[in-house]
Amino acid sequence: MEHTAPMAARRMITAPLLHRESIGASYHVLTFDVPEGSDAQPGQFAMVRGAEWGDAPLLPRPMSYLTGGTTPSILIKVIGEGTLRMGRAEPGEPFTLLGPLGNTWRPPSRNRRPVLVAGGVGIAPLLYFAKQIAADGATPLSIYGGRSSRDLPLEDELSEISETHLTTEDGSRGTRGRVTDVLESLLDAGSEVYTCGPDRMMAAVAAICAKRDVPCQVSLETPMACGYGVCLGCPVPTTDGGYLYACMNGPCIDARLVDFSRSDHAPRKVATTAGGAK
Amino acid sequence: MNGSNVRIGELDLANPVLTASGCFGYGLEYDEFFDVATLGGICTKGLSLEPRLGNPPERICETPAGMLNAIGLANVGVENFCTVKLPTLRERGVTVVANIFASSVADFVKITERLEAEDGVHAIELNVSCPNVTVGGIEFGKDPKLASEVTRAVRQSTKRPVWVKMSPEAGDILAVGRACEEAGADALTAINTIRGMSIDINTRRLRLVALRIVWDLCGAVSIPVIAIGGIATWQHALEFIMAGASAVQVGTASFSDPCAAKHVMDGIAAFCSQNETTVADLIGAARSS
Ligand SMILES: Cc1cc2nc3c(=O)[nH]c(=O)nc-3n(C[C@H](O)[C@H](O)[C@H](O)COP(=O)(O)OP(=O)(O)OC[C@H]3O[C@@H](n4cnc5c(N)ncnc54)[C@H](O)[C@@H]3O)c2cc1C
Ligand SMILES: Cc1cc2nc3c(=O)[nH]c(=O)nc-3n(C[C@H](O)[C@H](O)[C@H](O)COP(=O)(O)O)c2cc1C
Ligand code: FES
């Protein structure tokens, strides 16, 4: 695809959990001990699974890198069995990490200001990216929203390195409303937008950017079985009527390629096939 | 690998471990993980005459019963496979089993003929778990007559070994197996996934179902049987081999660990050298006692 970055070598490693930091009841930062280091770059992800989970859950779960290096970490939101187990893990528990997978955020053009739009746990790949931008001497603009103040994990870390606007739907923190309300007023012709969050939020952000002719990258979220291109379980509808595969062509991708009207990742019935098995 | 080699009809494999169709892409995704040429072989993603986009999302979902999938047989099509994927596999010396599917006997034959024009395809595996549209959508694999018809037609269009992948949905799977043997199949692979309403279910119980079917098939036919179904470790693989399977295929286990098939392969080799035995000697060991 257009901006597939050169990939670091993918590896499967078993690493012990170094520590788990809980942020409220639903969010946890898990940090792993990987002495040989990880080449993970902002936007990339790992397939993560407890090495001692046994048969269930069977599949590893895709998680964006929050940091890389010798202590790679992830931010998880508890939504089901896999994330529940991660949220209960104790230091020393072994995990398998397959990564780094997928491509990275495409670096901002020289004359554009990066605008990061995050929803809830979607902060993970964007905070890592913000740190990289800040290390290069720039200050990104961030818009970070959640349902309430409890859904803004790591907001303080983000505020330290970026000009940050917070929004909550219940008004318990920052501006009452949605990230898109603030985006409308802050966006200018020199912006370059990066977004990660619920599908519907990314679709709205992409629509605003398209209208204003501002480049926008999204980080695709779909269930994944393998994470490296062999199961074909992660299709994302494209505007030309076909599919991209989130793990291979993404997760970071130009928003103009994605047909959000056909991409509904809300849990629903599995489509039936005329073509038979698989 | 000494003592690991097996013979599937006319075909010699370096070891009894292959990767199952649809669970290993086209074998080109593993460069950073291990050398896939060391495997007994790889079965490609199911190939059709024309490329197929597959089903819309969601395609996969995990439930307490196992993994549900509705991929929709997405694939690049036989032409693209021959011109884009196969040359690389050939260059690397990978043992390639082309898994194919179609909704008519004529299309099965057309795909086979296209593959026949290429070097580097070592066997053809028929996915008969798909409906035959010319006879009202009955699955080829459910009916001994349909299964035998497609096997015979493919058999006549290739010099290469033809393997038929058994559908666990068949009412009388042994009758289907015998019909395929009689029609000229060189081996049977068993089993495909269990299907409910066009959704494939890889349950944890699949291995037990597969083990029973493999045991019964080995008693019912005299051609080699290749086992598939929930094989994730070398111990699982040896259970099937001792039950009579001549080789095994590793499926969904590759999703959570890209090196799963390599671990199975290495584990079997280590077992054989520790016990001073060969895979050939272990095949069916549990039957003779
Ligand atoms: C590239 C990528 C990066 C991700 N990064 C993060 C991250 O940094 N932090 C984080 O908390 N989560 C992240 N996710 C989402 C995460 O993978 C899922 O939340 C996780 O797999 C759920 O597992 P579970 O066992 O807890 O839930 P399950 O029991 O598997 O599912 C619970 C419910 O959520 C739905 N669901 C499952 N997976 C997804 C998904 N990927 N997208 C939307 N709905 C889903 C299911 O349909 C089900 O209804 C990422 C996903 C992708 C594809
Ligand atoms: C995502 C997925 C795709 C599959 N695609 C095919 C296919 O194209 N052709 C085929 O014959 N079998 C296909 N299968 C079935 C597998 O090859 C195998 O028979 C089945 O998964 C059982 O083995 P396992 O329990 O080791 O996974 C597919 C299975 C899965 C999970
Ligand atoms: S997750 Fe398997 S192909 Fe993308």
Give the model's pLDDT for residue A271.
Answer: 34
What average pLDDT does the segment B114-119 reach?
Answer: 97
**Between B72 and A101, residue with greater pLDDT:** A101
Both A80 and A200 in one domain: the answer is no
- The answer to whether B12 and B279 have CB atoms below 8 angstroms apart is no
In angstroms, rounded to a whole number, what is the distance separating the alpha carbons of residues A197 and A206? 12
| Cβ neighbours, 10 Å, residue A39 | 15
- Closest of A257, A174, A248 to residue A215, by C-alpha: A257
In angstroms, rounded to a whole number, what is the distance separating the alpha carbons of residues B15 and A56? 30
- Closest of B173, B184, B186 to residue B219, by C-alpha: B173
Q: Please give the single-letter amino acid code of residue B89.
A: L
This complex has an ipTM of 0.91
Both A46 and A128 in one domain: the answer is no
Q: Is A105 in the pocket of ligand 3 (CB under 6 A)?
A: no
State the residue range of the domain holding A36.
Answer: 11-101
In angstroms, rounded to a whole number, what is the distance separating the alpha carbons of residues A151 and A138? 27
| Ligand 2 atom closest to A225 (CA) | 1
Both A145 and A15 in one domain: the answer is no
Catalytic residue among B23, B43, B82, B130: B130
Give the model's pLDDT for residue B151.
Answer: 98
Both A184 and A221 in one domain: the answer is yes
| Cβ neighbours, 10 Å, residue A228 | 23
Give the model's pLDDT for residue A13.
Answer: 94
* Within a domain: A4: no
Both A81 and A139 in one domain: the answer is no
pLDDT beneath 50: ranges in chain A: 1-6, 265-278
**Between B1 and A169, residue with greater pLDDT:** A169
A-chain residue closest to B28, CA distance: A230
Both A93 and A156 in one domain: the answer is no
- In degrees and rounded to multiples of 5, residue A177 shows phi and psi of 135, -155
Q: Look up the CATH number of the domain holding residue A45.
A: 2.40.30.10
Q: Which of A101, A125, A146 is the last residue of a domain?
A: A101
Q: Which of A101, A134, A156 is the last residue of a domain?
A: A101
Cα-based torsion angle of the residue sequence A263, A264, A265, A270 in order, rounded to the nearest 10 degrees: -110
- The answer to whether A193 and A217 have CB atoms below 8 angstroms apart is yes
Q: Look up the CATH number of the domain holding residue A258.
A: 3.40.50.80
In this structure, which residue's CA is closest to atom 14 in ligand 2? B22
Distance A233 CA to ligand 3 centre (A): 5
Distance B24 CA to ligand 2 centre (A): 9
Q: Does A256 touch chain B (CB under 8 A)?
A: no
**Cβ contact, residue pair B33, A9, below 8 Å:** no
Both A96 and A133 in one domain: the answer is no
Task: Let me know if B272 is a catalytic residue.
Answer: no
Give the model's pLDDT for residue B204.
Answer: 62
Q: How confident is the model at residue B169 (pLDDT cuts 50, 70, 90)?
A: confident
Give the model's pLDDT for residue B69.
Answer: 80
Q: Is B95 in the pocket of ligand 2 (CB under 6 A)?
A: no
Cis-peptide, bond into residue A16, ω within 30° of zero: no
pLDDT digits (tens, 9 = 90+) for B123-156: 999 999 877 677 777 788 999 999 999 999 999 9
The alpha-carbon gap from A44 to the nearest alpha carbon of chain B, in Å, equals: 17
Q: Kindly write down the DSSP assignment for every residue of A43-77, as one continuous string.
A: T-EEEEEETT-TTSS-S-EEEE-SB-BTS-EEEEE
- The answer to whether A20 and A70 have CB atoms below 8 angstroms apart is no
**Cβ contact, residue pair B23, A231, below 8 Å:** yes
- The answer to whether A48 and A96 have CB atoms below 8 angstroms apart is yes
In angstroms, rounded to a whole number, what is the distance separating the alpha carbons of residues A248 and A226? 11
> What's the total number of domains in chain A?
2
* Within a domain: A24: yes
Q: Is B122 in the pocket of ligand 2 (CB under 6 A)?
A: no
Give the model's pLDDT for residue A128.
Answer: 98
Distance B228 CA to ligand 2 centre (A): 9
* Within a domain: A68: yes
pTM over 0.90: yes
* Within a domain: A1: no
Give the model's pLDDT for residue B203.
Answer: 58
* Within a domain: A130: yes
- Closest of A123, A146, A126 to residue A134, by C-alpha: A126
Strands (E), chain B: 6-8, 11-13, 17-19, 41-43, 60-63, 66-69, 96-100, 123-127, 131-132, 138-139, 162-165, 187-190, 194-196, 199-203, 225-228, 247-250
Both A53 and A124 in one domain: the answer is no
- In degrees and rounded to multiples of 5, residue B272 shows phi and psi of -65, -40
* Within a domain: A106: no
Class of domain B6-287: alpha beta
Both A146 and A33 in one domain: the answer is no
Cα-based torsion angle of the residue sequence B221, B222, B224, B227 in order, rounded to the nearest 10 degrees: 30
* Within a domain: A32: yes
Both A75 and A212 in one domain: the answer is no
Both A141 and A51 in one domain: the answer is no
In angstroms, rounded to a whole number, what is the distance separating the alpha carbons of residues A212 and A194? 15
Q: Which of A45, A74, A101 is the last residue of a domain?
A: A101
pLDDT digits (tens, 9 = 90+) for B6-54: 999 999 999 999 999 999 999 999 989 999 999 999 999 999 999 999 8
Both A134 and A158 in one domain: the answer is yes
Question: What tokens does B165 get?
Answer: 């992948």
